[in-house]
C-alpha cells in the first residue's frame, strides 16, 4: 500500500485513515476493511509501530493507529467510532444488527477483542513478555508499548488465562450459531473484527498475508502460551474471508 505522510495528508479533504504500515496490525486491518466494505475511499496515512510518531501526535493527539479523520471533524480512534463513521459515509449492507440485544452483543464482542484489556491486549502482553526476555531495561524503556500496556511479568499468567477464556466463549458462540456468524444470522462487524484479530492467534499463510518472517514468528507466540483452542475459531475466519472480505491483505 502506498502511504502518505502526515504532512502530505493532513490538509486533504475526504477521509484520511492512519494505518500501521508494513504489518497486518489487526486494529488497522479491521478499520480499513470497514471502509472497504462500505465502499468509502480513503487516503492511507503512515503510522510506524513502536515509534513516537510525533507528527501524528501533533495532528491528532494520538500516537497509534488506526485514526480516521473525515474532513475537519475530530479524529476517531475507538472501534465503534470508526464503525459508525463507515456506516454514515458508505453504502451497502449495514454491519450493525437492527435487533437491540444482538447489537449489544456485537458491541461487547468487539470490545472483548479490540478494547483495553481485550483479547488482543492480552496477546500483546504475551508478546511483550517474550520481547522482555530479549531486551534489557534500556531496550524496554525505548519501546513505548511496554509502558502503554503496563507490562508487568507478574500479570502475564492472568493475561494468558483471560485470552483462553475469551477463546472458549467464542468457540461456544460459534457452535451455537445456525448460520456460522458470531451474532445474529448475518455478517456483522463482530465477524469482520475477528477475521483480522484471529491473526494474533493463527496468522494466515504467506500467500494471502505476506507479513515479514520475524513478525510472523511474533504473531505465532501467543498460541504457544495458550491452551489448545477449538479449530472452529479459525474456520470462522477463513469462512468470512471467503464470503465477505478481501484477500490478499495489503499493508
What is the strand order of the sheet 67-70 is part of? 43-47, 15-20, 67-70
HSE-CB at 120 with a 13 A cutoff on CA atoms is: 21
Please state the pTM of the whole predicted model: 0.94
And the C-alpha cell for 201? Answer: 492467534
Q: What is the pLDDT along the chain (251 residues), one digit of tens a residue?
A: 999 999 999 999 999 999 999 999 999 999 999 999 999 999 999 999 889 999 999 999 999 999 999 999 999 999 999 999 999 999 999 999 999 999 999 999 999 999 999 999 999 999 999 888 777 777 677 777 787 888 888 999 999 999 999 999 999 999 999 999 999 999 999 999 999 999 999 999 999 999 999 999 999 999 999 999 999 999 999 999 999 999 999 99
Q: Which domains does the chain have, with CATH numbers?
A: 6-89 (3.40.30.10), 100-243 (1.20.1050)
Amino acid at each position: 500500500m502506498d502511504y502518505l505522510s502526515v504532512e502530505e495528508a493532513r490538509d486533504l479533504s475526504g477521509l484520511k485513515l492512519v494505518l500501521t504500515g508494513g504489518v497486518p496490525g489487526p486494529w488497522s486491518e479491521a478499520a480499513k476493511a470497514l471502509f472497504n466494505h462500505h465502499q468509502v475511499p480513503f487516503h492511507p496515512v503512515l503510522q510506524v509501530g513502536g515509534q513516537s510518531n510525533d507528527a501524528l501526535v501533533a495532528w491528532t493527539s494520538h500516537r497509534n493507529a488506526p485514526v480516521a479523520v473525515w474532513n475537519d471533524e475530530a479524529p476517531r480512534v475507538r472501534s465503534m467510532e470508526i464503525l459508525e463513521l463507515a456506516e454514515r459515509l458508505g453504502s451497502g449492507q449495514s454491519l450493525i444488527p437492527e435487533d437491540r440485544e444482538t447489537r449489544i452483543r456485537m458491541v461487547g464482542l468487539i470490545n472483548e477483542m479490540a478494547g483495553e484489556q481485550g483479547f488482543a491486549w492480552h496477546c500483546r502482553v504475551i508478546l511483550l513478555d517474550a520481547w522482555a526476555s530479549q531486551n534489557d531495561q534500556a531496550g524496554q524503556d525505548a519501546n513505548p508499548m511496554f509502558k502503554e500496556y503496563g507490562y508487568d511479568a507478574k500479570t502475564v499468567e492472568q493475561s494468558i488465562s483471560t485470552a483462553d477464556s475469551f477463546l472458549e466463549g467464542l468457540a461456544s458462540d460459534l457452535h451455537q450459531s445456525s448460520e456460522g456468524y458470531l451474532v445474529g444470522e448475518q455478517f456483522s462487524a463482530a465477524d469482520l473484527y475477528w477475521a483480522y484479530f484471529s491473526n494474533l492467534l493463527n496468522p494466515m499463510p504467506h500467500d494471502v498475508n505476506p507479513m515479514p518472517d520475524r513478525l510472523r514468528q511474533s504473531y505465532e507466540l501467543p498460541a504457544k502460551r495458550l491452551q489448545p483452542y477449538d479449530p472452529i475459531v479459525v474456520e470462522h475466519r477463513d469462512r468470512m474471508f471467503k464470503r465477505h472480505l478481501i484477500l490478499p491483505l495489503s499493508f
